[in-house]
Amino acid sequence: MIRDNVMLPALKATPKEAQAVVARVEALLERFGIDHLQELSTAEATGGQLQRASICRALAAEPDLVFADEPTATLTGPMTAEVMDALTEVHEDGTTIVIAIHDIACAARADRVLYLKDGRLIDSLTLGRWRRQNRTRREDELLAWIRGLGSWASAR
């Protein structure tokens, strides 16, 4: 079941906090819009549902640091925005989130963006705290920075 799959690592990490883990998992499943699927087997879930369950699983033990590789790759546009909103909230609560992503709209939400090429750090851009009203400006700034790096990085 999806609920058990999300809950197990958190229960193993914090066995004395079983009731708190159960409550946290239920809240995460609801926050990511899959609470109605708790009893579904993972084999019956869609790719997007499994992606959201994976994010819930990563957050269930309240880690200080989360690494996410393309966490929105299989999601629709509206669900991508919801997932990024939730990850932003988790970050604002003190969790550091490192995301490898190619989606400019998602990358523009970051406080800091690193440009890597062939496993090497080429440059970084600090965007500061995310504010929805600055979305377009941040995306434009990020795109301009990346375009500028393209010729610089390929010349090295």
Neighbouring residues of 78: CB distance < 8 A, sequence distance ≥ 6: none
pLDDT of res. 114: 93
* Contact present, 100 and 114 (Cβ < 8 Å): no
pLDDT at 81: 86
Per-residue pLDDT tens over the stretch 73-99: 878 888 888 888 888 888 888 999 999
Please check the confidence at residue 68 and state whether its pLDDT lies above 80: yes
Q: Is the pLDDT of residue 50 over 50?
A: yes
The domain spans of the chain are 102-156
- Identify the pLDDT of residue 74: 79
Residues in the chain: 156
Contact of 78 with 86, CB cutoff 8 Å:
no
Confidence of residue 152 (pLDDT cuts 50, 70, 90): low
